[in-house]
Copies of this chain bind each other. A is one copy, B any other.
Amino acid sequence: MTDFAATKAMFDLPEGMIYLDGNSLGPLPKATKDRVSAMIEDEWGKMLITGWNKAGWMQQPGAIGDRIGRLIGAEPGHVMMGDTLSIKVYQAVASALEMTPDRRVVLSDNGNFPSDLYIVQGLLKSLGEDYELRVVNPEDVADNITDEIAVLMLTEVDYRTGRKHDMKALTELAQAQGVVTVWDLAHSAGALPVDLAGCNADFAVGCTYKYLNSGPGGPAFIYVAPRHVDSARPALSGWLGHEAPFAFDLDYRPGNGIERMRVGTPPMIQLAALGASMDIWDQVDMQALRARSIALCDRFISGVEASCPALTLASPRDGTARGSQVSFAFEHGYAAMQALIARGVIGDFRAPTTMRFGFTPLYIDEGDVDGAVAIIADVMNNQLWDKPEYKIRAAVT
């Protein structure tokens, strides 16, 4: 059983702040600063180039990948760290498309994070005019899975509402039609138990700076199923994905298994930060986390609905159909969120009307939920959001 009071004590949370935005950028684990300093001073500073061997830098992207793999139900040796999520989406979809060479359509939904759609638009434009990205409503995905589709690319949990796709059912439906699946776990990894192997997923990708608390710009990950990993062609065929990088051959030969999904030099400082965070995650039981996440979200929904009639629930009411976040719709949501942030309740806003709150049991507890509800009720019922300064949009929101 995970001790969530103990995990909460492992984070450095600013005094007086209720941080409900860990689904956007996770907070700082207390151990991270010293871990990064030690890596910089004792490894980079003292070992210099020999750190690649002596400190095991070269093996870390795969070793940390396996620790994340436990959270997402991946087989050991099938998750690799590196690059950004956008790059990992590109890799996965490019490889997946080549597995169905006679098909030309990538199916996704408009609840996907736009970046995933952008990156596929760019890829398909490179591949040729006969390729198509077909974007449907989330509830229409199942009906659109036909033998015309090459790749089904979905984000499991909707970044706006927290609505959760049924990964197992959709993967099964897709595979029955010969469709290859790519699952984006940006709002799943560390948010809820994922069972990639059990769902028979083909490819999966995700980031680490949200629920996995690796810090801004932490490296992403990619998963390739055992049955594909030795045949998937890496479109981004980089040096460290070569079978023998230090042979300096002029021709690319893909490395064994997941190694081929490496591209360039891994970001060792960011990986050190991620390593410190994974020390916490290694102690977490994902079923316990899920139960607590649903309880916290339910408590928040009840509290807000009881006290704020102007807010409309925009997330599924059924906890098992949700990720680890709750959204409410409100016409003046942007200003209301600014008023909340000014009062130490940090959520975020997604156009046009979504106020979004993430619940992360590692460091959020019932006291935080109740405190947030009280402040939200104050802001809403006393129209504290109705001030000019809360209506000025920042560049990054």
- A residues whose Cβ falls under 8 Å from a Cβ of B: 12, 14, 17, 19, 21, 24-25, 27-28, 32-33, 36-37, 40-41, 44-46, 48-53, 57-58, 83-87, 90, 94, 110, 113-115, 117-119, 121-123, 125-128, 135, 207, 209, 215-220, 233-239, 241-242, 246-252, 263-271, 273, 341, 346, 348, 350-351, 394-397
Contact = CB atoms under 8 A, between A and B. Distances in A.
A189 to B, nearest CB: 15
Most chain B CB within a 10 A radius of its CB, from A83, A128, A217: A217
B346 A84 contact: no
B235 A114 contact: no
Contact of A351 (B44, B233, B247): B247
7 contacts: A21-B48, A25-B44, A33-B37, A33-B41, A117-B251, A118-B251, A122-B234
A395 B58 CA distance: 9
A126 B94 contact: yes
Given A33-B40, A209-B265, A265-B209, A394 B53 contact: yes
Tell me which of A41, A57, A239, A397 has the highest count of chain B C-beta atoms within 10 A of its own C-beta: A239
B251 A121 contact: yes
A118 B252 contact: yes
A121 B216 contact: no
A58 B45 CA distance: 28
Contact of A40 (B36, B94, B268, B350): B36
Contacts of A237: 118-119, 121-122
B58 A239 contact: no
Given A12-B41, A122-B235, A217-B270, 6 more contacts: A27-B45, A48-B346, A49-B348, A90-B236, A114-B249, A118-B238
Contact of A84 (B14, B51, B83): B83
Given A45-B27, A237-B121, A249-B114, A216 B265 contact: yes
Contacts of A269: 36, 215-217, 269-270, 273
Contacts of A41: 12, 28, 33
B114 A248 contact: yes
Contacts of A346: 48-50
B217 A266 contact: yes
A44 B58 contact: no
Given A216-B44, A267-B217, A268-B217, A122 B236 contact: yes
Given A33-B37, A263-B84, A270-B267, A250 B135 contact: yes
A236 B86 contact: yes
A117 B250 contact: yes
A51 B216 contact: yes
A395 B217 contact: no
A49 B25 contact: yes
